[in-house]
Each structure stands twice: as structure tokens, then as C-alpha cells.
Amino acid sequence: MMKISNSMVAAAGAVVALVPTWAWAQGPSDAERYAYGPHMMWWGGGWYGMVLGPLFMILVLAIVIAVAVLLVRWLGGPWPAAGSHQTPSSRTPLDILKERFARGEIDKEEFEERRRVLGD
């Protein structure tokens, strides 16, 4: 049986790593392959790519932010008007006292005493 040394493994690894790089380097360059030159997207180096690109990016970003704000507002429900502090129910303390008396939570004497304290 043949014994493989560390140097043989290192040499085989170097060959495996370097052969694809060598083959890739033998291929044609982009200028030869496309014959349009080094200009990006065949624009010919015009100024409008540098102006329209950032403008389009700002427009898309503004649309994304507007959609996010509208979605949060829609999911959050109606917003209360500024300065309006309304109670969730329009029941008065006397209404609550009458309900407690009707349910039997308080007796007649306690009902009359609390009603006098409320000022009715």
C-alpha cells in the first residue's frame, strides 16, 4: 500500500485550486465578447443615468414610506381628535349607583346616602 505524505496532499490541493483560475484567465475579456465597449448597460456613458438613477431611488423610497404609513394608520384604527378627552361610556355616577342598587349590591339606606353625597 502506498503512503501519501502531507506534501503530496498540499500539491494536489494547490493544483485543484489553481486550475479553474488558470482556465478562467484564458477566456476572452468583456470588451472582446460584447464589442460595445466598457459602458454600463449600453448607455454610452450618458449623464442621464447618473441623474435618473438617484431620482428613481428617491421616488421608490417615498412610495415605500407612504405605503407603510398608510398601512399603520389603517391597522391602528381611527385616531381621536386633538383635545377630545371623552370617557368611554357616557354614564354618570348616579347611573352607576342606580345600577348597583338594582343589582342588589347596596341597600336602600346606602343608596340614599351616596345619592345625597353626589348632590342629587
Encode pLDDT of 43-72 as tens digits.
Answer: 555 667 678 888 999 999 999 999 999 999
For residue 16 the three cell numbers come to: 485543484
- Low-confidence residues in the chain, pLDDT < 50: none
Among candidate residues 83, 108, 87, the one with its CA nearest the CA of residue 97: 108
Tell me if 105 is assigned to some domain. yes
**Domain encompassing residue 69:** 29-76
Q: What is the pLDDT of residue 80?
A: 67
Tell me if 17 is assigned to some domain. no
| Residues 38 and 61 placed together within one structural domain of the fold | yes
Tell me if 110 is assigned to some domain. yes
Tell me if 116 is assigned to some domain. yes
- φ, ψ for residue 108, nearest 5 deg: -65, -40
Global pTM value: 0.34
Which amino acid, one-letter code, is at 10? A
Q: What is the pLDDT of residue 91?
A: 82
Measured between alpha carbons, how far is 9 from 3 in angstroms, rounded to an integer? Answer: 11
| Residues 71 and 104 placed together within one structural domain of the fold | no
| Residues 72 and 34 placed together within one structural domain of the fold | yes
- Domain count for the chain, please give it: 2
Q: What is the pLDDT of residue 40?
A: 55
User: CA end-to-end span of the chain, whole Å?
Assistant: 111
